[in-house]
Each structure stands twice: as C-alpha cells, then as structure tokens.
C-alpha cells in the first residue's frame, strides 16, 4: 500500500503475503530497528500464516529521522495514523514500542487488539541505569557525555541476550543511534511515565483487548499491585514466556510468533 508523505522517511520492512487478509503493525523497542523482529516474523507460526507483517522503526530510533515532537503522545498519534494508512488491525510493540502501542489504545488512536512485549507501567519498573542516565543528561556539561557513554554501553549489555548468529546485525542496529536524539526522547519518555504514575488504569480504561507479554527473567519490573490490577482487568491477558529476558521476540521468537498468530487468527486457526 502506498504511504502519504508524512511516512516517506519511516524505516519499514514488510513480510508475509502482500494480499493477506490480516495486517499487523510491529513497533520495535527504544534504540532498536525493524531487524529486531526478523526472527519472529520468520518463525513457522507466522511465516506460513495469512498475515502481512509491517515492521516500522519508531522514528528517531536506530538512526532514523526523528519527528520534531518526540513525546509519547505524539508517537502514539503518528503510529495510529500509520496503522490506518497501512490497514493494520493489530499492533505488536516491544519495550518503548509497547508503550507507544499502549498509548495508541489509551489515547484513542487505535481500537484493535494490542500485544505489549515487555511494556513499562511505571517509573519503578524501568531500568535504573536508564533512569539515572536520563537524570544525568539534564546536568549542564555532564549531560553531553551521558548518552554517548550509554550508547557505547547498551550494545555490550544486551549482547548476551542475543543469539550468537544474530548478535552482529542487532548490535550494528543499536550503534546507529544518535546521542542527542536519545537524550531528548528518553527525557520525554520518563516525563510520560511521571505524568501517569501508573499506566495500568490507562490500558484497562481503554477497553482495548490487550496481551501483556513478559519473559520469565525480564529485566523490566512489574510491581505486585500492577500485576494484580492486570489480572483483574477483563480486557487484558498476561503471558509469561519461559527462558527469556527483555528481548523476548529475539530470545524466543517462535513462542512470540505463535502468540501473535493466535491473537490475529484465533486460538484454533
């Protein structure tokens, strides 16, 4: 499908039958590009399904062109318009991309099902290193040094979660990031978390059918109160993927692919 001018500089990678009856938008996580979904989209439960998968890097991440407004609310509005433009009826997001998907539902930009891979529901859930880096980045002088250091460190930290055969390509993706963009975008991201305090009521209040998917050793936290509220929410299903950390669709691509196929096609397709 042809895109309007506002999406011309988006990095988009499509797979699956061009004439498939179902289209799914895949939003990678912070600092990640579409390559992070390659293993999942190639896994048997999705590779053979009548589903067109449209992976789109959240603009600004992995060296792509950033919008002027990098607030989570604007990203949700942009991604909602992109989903309409590309005929996507389900959204899958990972990490920051999952929070964009959550806000698409919460802000009324998307009414279909959302699959949230390791979202963050509150500031305490987030990586301490990321929170500290975002705080240090506001300090004159020191701030300019913080994100270059983080961009050097992040690929080294995440490399252990990547299958060896994929490590080089995924690390290369992470190294495309701009320190100035990350500094700006992460400040907005934490401001968004602080505005809401806890995003579980925003997700539940949207009424959107949602799957919250986490690795059993996910580095992103989930408080007992958040867990209880998600379990109590009739529109939310909680899924735990065994033997996986934060990069769940990289570490266990077949399990996540199976879940996405079931969300789109139904459990007995």
Question: What are the structure tokens assigned to 8, written together?
Answer: 């011309």
- Minimum mean pLDDT range among 3-12, 36-45, 233-242: 3-12
d(CA 203, CA 7): 26
- Minimum mean pLDDT range among 26-30, 55-59, 111-115, 170-174: 170-174
pLDDT at 211: 98
| Residue 215 pLDDT class (50, 70, 90 cuts) | very high
| Residue 256 pLDDT class (50, 70, 90 cuts) | very high
Tokens 């958040």 correspond to 226
d(CA 21, CA 23): 7
- Determine contact, residues 117/98, Cβ cutoff 8 Å: yes
pLDDT at 153: 80
Question: What are the structure tokens assigned to 65, written together?
Answer: 């062109």
Can you tell me whether residue 75 is helix, strand or coil? helix
- Determine contact, residues 49/261, Cβ cutoff 8 Å: yes
d(CA 44, CA 257): 8
| Residue 260 pLDDT class (50, 70, 90 cuts) | very high
Can you tell me whether residue 240 is helix, strand or coil? strand
What is the value of pTM for the model shown? 0.94
| Res 1 pLDDT > 50 | no
d(CA 259, CA 171): 26
- Determine contact, residues 106/206, Cβ cutoff 8 Å: yes
Q: Kindly report the CA angle at 69 between 129 and 156, in degrees rounded to 5?
A: 25
pLDDT at 2: 46
């Amino acid at each position: 499908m042809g895109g309007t001018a506002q999406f011309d500089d988006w990095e988009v990678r499509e797979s699956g039958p061009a004439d498939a009856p179902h289209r799914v938008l895949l939003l990678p996580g912070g600092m990640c590009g579409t390559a992070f979904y390659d293993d999942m989209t190639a896994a048997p439960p999705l590779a053979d399904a009548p589903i067109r998968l449209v992976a789109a890097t959240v603009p600004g991440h992995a060296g792509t062109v950033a919008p002027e407004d990098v607030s989570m609310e604007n990203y949700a509005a942009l991604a909602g318009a992109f989903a309409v433009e590309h005929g996507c009826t389900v959204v899958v997001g990972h990490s920051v991309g999952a929070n964009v998907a959550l806000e698409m539902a919460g802000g009324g930009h998307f009414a279909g099902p959302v699959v949230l891979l390791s979202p963050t529901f509150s500031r305490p859930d987030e990586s301490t290193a990321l929170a500290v880096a975002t705080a240090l980045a506001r300090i004159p002088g020191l701030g300019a040094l913080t994100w270059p250091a983080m961009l050097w460190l992040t690929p080294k930290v995440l490399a252990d979660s990547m299958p060896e055969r994929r490590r080089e390509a995924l690390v290369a993706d992470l190294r495309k990031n701009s320190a100035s963009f990350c500094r700006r975008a992460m400040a907005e991201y934490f401001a968004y978390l602080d505005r809401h305090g806890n995003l579980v009521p925003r997700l539940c209040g949207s009424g959107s059918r949602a799957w919250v998917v986490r690795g059993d050793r996910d580095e992103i936290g989930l408080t007992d109160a958040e867990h209880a509220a998600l379990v109590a929410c009739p529109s939310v299903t909680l899924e735990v993927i065994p033997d996986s950390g934060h990069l769940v669709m990289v570490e266990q691509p077949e399990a996540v692919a199976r879940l996405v196929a079931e969300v789109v096609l139904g459990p007995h397709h």
